[in-house]
């Protein structure tokens, strides 16, 4: 195991939190919150993949 890339830990925690919030919104039957947290999940995961590609292209991974 090499060095921990803390930015990816942050993205992972953000994605997990978004998934949990989607579950809470479903339990509350609040459609706007479901879509809001779904968009938040897609944005966080998108930034994570974008950052990973950028770091891989720079030879940092």
3-state SS, one letter per residue, for the chain: CCCCCHHHHHHHHHHHHHHHHHHHHHHHCCHHHHHHHHHHHHHHHHHHHHHHHHHHHCCCC
For residue 60, the model assigns a pLDDT of 86
For residue 61, the model assigns a pLDDT of 82
For residue 1, the model assigns a pLDDT of 61
For residue 2, the model assigns a pLDDT of 73
Residues in the chain where the model's pLDDT stays below 50: none
What is the pTM assigned to this prediction? 0.85
Domain range list for the chain: 6-50
């Amino acid at each position: 195991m090499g060095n921990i890339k803390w930015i990816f830990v942050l993205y992972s925690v953000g994605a997990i939190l978004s998934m949990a919030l989607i579950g809470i919104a479903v339990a509350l039957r609040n459609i706007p919150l479901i879509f809001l947290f779904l968009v938040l999940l897609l944005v966080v995961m998108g930034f994570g993949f974008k950052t990973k590609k950028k770091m891989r292209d720079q030879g940092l991974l």
